[in-house]
Structure 1
Amino acid sequence: MENRRKHHQCGSTEQKVDQIEKENRPGKKRNEIKFFKYSENDLFRAVHSIKSGEISLNYASKLYGIPKSTLSNKLNKKVPMERKMGPTTILTKEEEEELVIWILNKAKLGFPLSGEDVKDSIQNVLKQCPRPNPFKDDRPGKKWLALFLSRHPEVVKRNAEAISKARATVTKHSITEWFAELKEYLHSTNAIDIFEDPKRILNCDETGCLTCPDTGKILGPKNYKNLYEISAGKQKEAITVLCNYSADGSTMPPMVVYPYKRMPDKIIKNMPDDWAVGRSDSGWMVSATFYEYVTKFMLPWLQKRQVKFPVILFLDGHKSHLSLQLSRFCSQNEIIVYCLPPNATHMMQPCDVSIFRPLKAAWKKVVRHSRQDRVTINKQNFCSFFKKAFDAVTADSIKNGFRACGLCPLDENAVDYSKCISVRRAEIENDSDDNEEKTPSNEDYKVAKSVVEYSIGVAKLQDFRNHLEQGTCAEGDDKSLFFFGKNAFPETDAINHPENNPNSAADDTKNQLVVILWGRNKQR
């Protein structure tokens, strides 16, 4: 008996442990309360089916899993059809929708709003359209903004990438023309077969690497306002690295540029054997350094791999990449240097599109590990540490970059034109045109007038005409009929008195938020 009791106790204990593990399983919240076991679409279907007489209330309750009391309250209009929990919002549903559209459109056009900007706009709205609110000086706080974002998941907090005004003017047309000119040039030089071999398609660009990049958010005590991190080296020291990749996923040894006329022995000692070292007074890329890289490192590397010539090298139009000396050398050695569209490298350069981001992420990880080991990264040992990050870039990231830029395979349709501000502006204008209700003209009302006269009858229309001529609308009259008649009979005096239109006040109130927000947008 004792053995059985022990076995039973052990078994029950194991069951409890399994139950606790299931409750604490990742992706499942403990004590999660589900308020509704039916969707809002099911509720609308059930009410519609009952109203149309297709099914009874009892059957709808069983079919959709909705309580009878809920269906009864919805049918008797004791509660609104839309499900709403918690207190009412300060802005109406329509106003919040207009606010969401305004926020999204501003972000698409390159003028994103911060949380403080949105609070300023709401404060401006409440000042011009006063209404009861719990805000101090009509300005919402952090809690309102958090709840607003939870109600509208399409609006999220993101980090914005700064682009110049020149980049904002890039159009889809200019990029497609660039592709057409590239194809025409390659056909004229009988070099179009380059794109049949990814090894012959290259892209190079420089990037600056900080020896002490920002660590981001860290963990620390809650009651301390300021937390500090002691820098192991110079905070704003950056080293220029020239990276070169081919469309087959291969990585060419980089060139590290230093501001030395005579290179210290420690740098040469810590540099990998096949890497290139460059010199310039500023530490940035200059024409002489880039010429040295192409002639002494890039060309021998291609020859060693037995890459078929000619090859094409895509790069941006920086002045350090363009020199008469380099142009002659490349022409003699069948290297086609082709500049990407101006101000479009964020869309058209593989290094910027998909390679440098994982490279910088890997570099921050290397720096973080070096800080944990209490090792200082400086110019002397930079190359030995940077090699870990440089080797972390995968061949798939390189291939995806060339593919996304439409350079391998050669396809202008592969470019993400949504990055063009002009394309986004056109989409917004098209959406506004599609959603805008077309207001019927007086001629439209006159055309429909004969149909209405035939359908309603002469007696009722004459009675309505009398009311309309007197400028009155009796209690209980059809408001939509009044609005139609006001426009269908323009010869009456009532059409010149908008105060007789019961819909005018509501329309004015509905448009107040739009006028305030978009008027503020135009002033900026």
Structure 2
Amino acid sequence: MGCGNALGHQIPPYFIFAGKRMRQELLEGATPGADGSVSETGWSNSEIFQSYLENHFIKYVTGMQDKHILLLYDGHRTHITPDIIDWAVEKKIILYVLPPHTSHVLQPMDVGCFGPFARIYSSEGHTFQRTHSAVINKYNLCSIACKSYNSALPPSNLQSAFRKSGIYPLDRDAIDQSLFSISDAIHRQSQSDENIKVDDIPAIENETTEPVNLMSDSEINADTEPILSNQENENIQIYVAEKLLTKTR
């Protein structure tokens, strides 16, 4: 998992390894602040994501407690639970799940950071294999990935990513609308296939005017669980906002 903000500050990477027990040697060669966990599949899940937020993410945004933090991230089902929402409201973190199939233009990490990361990691991996005459495994991966992560998420890339996605500075004309054509086609197909009943949630009458700090979080490997539908996404955003308003009133 990777995260950075609109000012150009990165949060150290967080690794998820396949296994049943976390071993410190899995983080051999990690850069300062990097951490990780394990799951049986090697993929994220609700428990790991909540632990990431509560024990990793929060350590690097605690200096911003006087302001709300807007956290933008992908809409996988493992990323949304009542416990996560309640915790976020308590910590003045506004969770904003990006619309389905739009991360290629709206997720700053995808727009300007993970492409360079993939290229740098590939190059570093080939260099490691040549110089060490060894394959990359889970015990030497961390040092290579951390080095690549730091190179791919400098302030200039993070700032550019938020700017290109039109998020900060806010620019509704920053994105070529034709980039959404593929997303629209995917969405229409998913709408025709799904049969999900979503409970109605009352509309919001007020909105908060407190300043926010823009963050963007994403996973380098996409979660295997399905993403939220547009209707589910919209209802979740309303629910999060109402919880936040109830807390701040």
Q: TM-score, normalised by structure 1?
A: 0.33
User: Is the contact between residue 276 and residue 293 of structure 1 (CA under 8 Å) also seen in structure 2?
Assistant: no
Mark the CA change 1:403 to 1:307 in structure 2 (over 3 Å): closer, same or farther.
farther
Matches within 5 A, 1:56-455: 242-303=1-62, 305-306=63-64, 308-373=66-131, 374-393=133-152, 394-421=154-181
Residue 317 of structure 1 aligns to a residue whose secondary structure is coil
Mark the CA change 1:307 to 1:407 in structure 2 (over 3 Å): closer, same or farther.
farther
The CA deviation string for residues 473-510 of structure 1, in whole angstroms up to 9 with x for no partner, is xxxxxxxxxxxxxxxxxxxxxxxxxxxxxxxxxxxxxx
- Distance across 1 between alignment mates of 2:114 and 2:31: 20
Query: How far did 1:354 drift?
Result: 1.4
User: Is the contact between residue 354 and residue 401 of structure 1 (CA under 8 Å) also seen in structure 2?
Assistant: yes
The CA deviation string for residues 52-81 of structure 1, in whole angstroms up to 9 with x for no partner, is xxxxxxxxxxxxxxxxxxxxxxxxxxxxxx
Q: Which runs of 5+ in 2 are unaligned?
A: 184-249
Q: Which amino acid aligns with 2:166?
A: G
Mark the CA change 1:257 to 1:264 in structure 2 (over 3 Å): closer, same or farther.
same
Q: Which amino acid aligns with 1:410?
A: L
Residue 128 of structure 2 aligns to a residue whose secondary structure is helix
Q: Which amino acid aligns with 1:333?
A: K
Residue 16 of structure 2 aligns to a residue whose secondary structure is strand
Query: How far did 1:307 drift?
Result: 6.0
Mark the CA change 1:317 to 1:306 in structure 2 (over 3 Å): closer, same or farther.
closer
Q: Which amino acid aligns with 2:97?
A: C
Query: How far did 1:265 drift?
Result: 3.9
Q: Which runs of 4+ in 1 moved over 4 A?
A: 305-308
User: Is the contact between residue 316 and residue 345 of structure 1 (CA under 8 Å) also seen in structure 2?
Assistant: yes
Mark the CA change 1:414 to 1:371 in structure 2 (over 3 Å): closer, same or farther.
same
- Distance across 1 between alignment mates of 2:145 and 2:46: 24
Residue 257 of structure 1 aligns to a residue whose secondary structure is strand
Q: Which amino acid aligns with 1:403?
A: R
Mark the CA change 1:349 to 1:415 in structure 2 (over 3 Å): closer, same or farther.
same
Query: How far did 1:343 drift?
Result: 1.4
Q: Which amino acid aligns with 1:315?
A: Y
User: Is the contact between residue 347 and residue 416 of structure 1 (CA under 8 Å) also seen in structure 2?
Assistant: no
Mark the CA change 1:404 to 1:270 in structure 2 (over 3 Å): closer, same or farther.
same
Query: How far did 1:407 drift?
Result: 0.8
Mark the CA change 1:318 to 1:372 in structure 2 (over 3 Å): closer, same or farther.
same
Query: How far did 1:306 drift?
Result: 4.4
Mark the CA change 1:418 to 1:308 in structure 2 (over 3 Å): closer, same or farther.
farther
Query: How far did 1:395 drift?
Result: 1.7
User: Is the contact between residue 45 and residue 78 of structure 2 (CA under 8 Å) also seen in structure 1?
Assistant: yes
- Distance across 2 between alignment mates of 1:287 and 1:345: 20
Mark the CA change 1:422 to 1:251 in structure 2 (over 3 Å): closer, same or farther.
closer
The number of residue pairs the alignment matches comes to 183
Residue 370 of structure 1 aligns to a residue whose secondary structure is helix
Q: Which amino acid aligns with 1:334?
A: K
The CA deviation string for residues 327-351 of structure 1, in whole angstroms up to 9 with x for no partner, is 0000011000001122111111111
- Distance across 1 between alignment mates of 2:36 and 2:23: 11
Query: How far did 1:308 drift?
Result: 4.2
Residue 95 of structure 2 aligns to a residue whose secondary structure is strand
- Distance across 2 between alignment mates of 1:262 and 1:268: 13
More helix by percentage: 1
The CA deviation string for residues 1-59 of structure 1, in whole angstroms up to 9 with x for no partner, is xxxxxxxxxxxxxxxxxxxxxxxxxxxxxxxxxxxxxxxxxxxxxxxxxxxxxxxxxxx
User: Is the contact between residue 267 and residue 379 of structure 1 (CA under 8 Å) also seen in structure 2?
Assistant: yes
User: Is the contact between residue 404 and residue 416 of structure 1 (CA under 8 Å) also seen in structure 2?
Assistant: no
- Distance across 1 between alignment mates of 2:151 and 2:130: 20
Q: Which amino acid aligns with 2:158?
A: I
Residue 413 of structure 1 aligns to a residue whose secondary structure is coil
Q: Considering only aligned residues, what root-mean-square deviation do their CA atoms show, in Å?
A: 2.1
Q: Which amino acid aligns with 1:330?
A: A
- Distance across 2 between alignment mates of 1:332 and 1:265: 31
- Distance across 1 between alignment mates of 2:180 and 2:16: 33
Mark the CA change 1:369 to 1:307 in structure 2 (over 3 Å): closer, same or farther.
farther
- Distance across 1 between alignment mates of 2:170 and 2:83: 29
User: Is the contact between residue 31 and residue 147 of structure 2 (CA under 8 Å) also seen in structure 1?
Assistant: no
Mark the CA change 1:396 to 1:271 in structure 2 (over 3 Å): closer, same or farther.
closer
Q: Which has the higher contact order (CA 8 A, sep 6+)?
A: 2
Query: How far did 1:274 drift?
Result: 1.2
User: Is the contact between residue 250 and residue 395 of structure 1 (CA under 8 Å) also seen in structure 2?
Assistant: yes
